[in-house]
Structure 1
Amino acid sequence: MNTSGYTISKKQRTDIKPILVTIAIIMILSAIFIPIFLLTPFQEQFYKPEGTWVFEAPKSAYITFSTALAAAAVFIIAGVWLHSADKLGKLGKIIIGCGFLFSLATVILSFDYYHYIDKNGVHFNTLFSLQEKHYHWSDIKQARQTVKNEMGVMSDDKLIFTFKDGTNYEYLMNDNIRKARSETNFELEEHGVELIRETLN
């Protein structure tokens, strides 16, 4: 008499921890490069109006994007490590989850962080603002260009506008701003605003 046995095998769940750690490491390593290849094309496609003299993401937008992306990766690694060590309690889950979501939200908000200058005036959208602000040239109360003096070498620093409502906004004096210098100076003169040069010590 032949007897046949059978074995009931339970399908093992795929361990996603190594996958999460790998993704997190890739996020950290690419945090410096991803903003360069994503921010500018995205913003120019969806936010850039026609006829702008300057349109760009501020330097702080790239730094914020990189920092937030790396932070999100750190929260992933921390969550995996604490879970593996059986130290991820309810409070730990809340902290890790909130930290990851905040970092991810900051990455997303970085795409909405830009400024531009055109014939109508100065326009910008800051990191945690969901509405673009517009200031006409007639709204500008004061315009200053700061100059750095580093060991006797003078170099342009920032272009700072003060508006009649007390708001200040500054542009880093990079090549994009320099290209629009003549148009900007013309509009300031037309509206009776003197561009003041200030040397920083």
Structure 2
Amino acid sequence: MLLMRKKETSEEKSVKLVAYTIILYISSFFVPFVIVASFQSLVYFSRSQWFFATPFSAYITFMAGMFYIAVVFTIFLIFRQKWDGNNFKIITGLLLLISIPAFYFSLTNYYYLDDKGVHYNSLMSVNEKEYKWENVHTVHIVYRNHQGTVSNYQYKFELNNGSIITLPYDDKFAENVGRIEDKIQQFGITVKDNFKNPVLD
């Protein structure tokens, strides 16, 4: 009787794990957009910011982390009867731990602009970096030719030390172009563009 209950419990756990795995596969396509955006708005957003944005790389990385866990669960379910034992469970647990950096770096990948300058935390960076307006040497406005229509594509901020921060031209950015132009005039920043030779898409 005890063995029967133990077997049933094991089967129930397997069924639940299969369900969790399927849910992970499906939810990995939309949950990252909810979790990453919600977390960053609670932790990093400030009223002093002109706008706050999350790079698409953050969502993709979080999605990859969820998908990776689902794959590990799938492998565990396939080989658990053949390799059943503590060692196999320990290896599976270690494989799951590998996904932690993906979630951490995706949650800390963001950028925003304010009166001080451009603030950017890249995907593989631990700390946020501040690029002050007075250190911006040139602003490169990148245009794109998409199906015959030329429009803004990116803004590249080139610093005095030669490094470049590239930000996409989206709706949030467009709403704050006036503020950026004010800073360009205030600090005498050089502006260049490729309007006559746009990027072909």
Same fold (TM over 0.5): yes
Distance 1:99 1:171, change over 3 A: farther
Instruction: Report the alpha carbon displacement of residue 171 of structure 1 after superposing the two structures with TM.
Output: 1.2
1:11-63 C-alpha deviation (Å, 9 max, x unpaired): 51622222222112111101121122222222111111222111011111112
Distance 1:30 1:119 in 2: 38
**Further displaced range: 79-88 or 182-191:** 79-88
Q: Which has the higher helix share?
A: 2
SS at structure 2 position matched to 1:127: coil
Distance 1:87 1:163, change over 3 A: farther
* 2:2 alignment partner in structure 1: 9
Name the count of aligned residue pairs: 193
Unmatched runs of 5 consecutive residues or more in structure 2: none
Amino acid at match of 1:148: R
Provide the identity percentage.
Answer: 24
Unmatched runs of 5 consecutive residues or more in structure 1: 1-7
Distance 1:19 1:55, change over 3 A: same
**Further displaced range: 159-168 or 57-66:** 159-168
SS at structure 1 position matched to 2:21: helix
Amino acid at match of 1:77: T
Q: Is the 8 A contact 1:185 1:195 kept in 2?
A: no
Amino acid at match of 1:121: G
Following superposition of structure 1 onto structure 2, how do residues 49-198 of structure 1 map, counting pairs within 5 Å?
49-86=46-83, 94=91, 96-198=92-194
TM-score when normalising by structure 1: 0.85
Distance 1:57 1:110 in 2: 9
Distance 1:154 1:99 in 2: 47
Instruction: Report the alpha carbon displacement of residue 85 of structure 1 after superposing the two structures with TM.
Output: 3.5
Distance 1:156 1:12 in 2: 63
Q: Is the 8 A contact 1:125 1:133 kept in 2?
A: yes
Distance 1:91 1:166, change over 3 A: farther
Distance 1:73 1:129 in 2: 26
SS at structure 2 position matched to 1:42: helix
Root mean square deviation, CA, Å: 2.4
1:103-151 C-alpha deviation (Å, 9 max, x unpaired): 2331232111111000110001122222111111011122112111133
Distance 1:139 1:181 in 2: 19
Distance 1:164 1:79, change over 3 A: farther
Distance 1:162 1:91 in 2: 51
SS at structure 2 position matched to 1:177: helix
**Further displaced range: 16-25 or 85-94:** 85-94
* 1:200 alignment partner in structure 2: 199
Amino acid at match of 2:133: W
Distance 2:123 2:14 in 1: 32
TM-score when normalising by structure 2: 0.85
* 2:40 alignment partner in structure 1: 43
Distance 1:162 1:45 in 2: 30
SS at structure 1 position matched to 2:127: coil
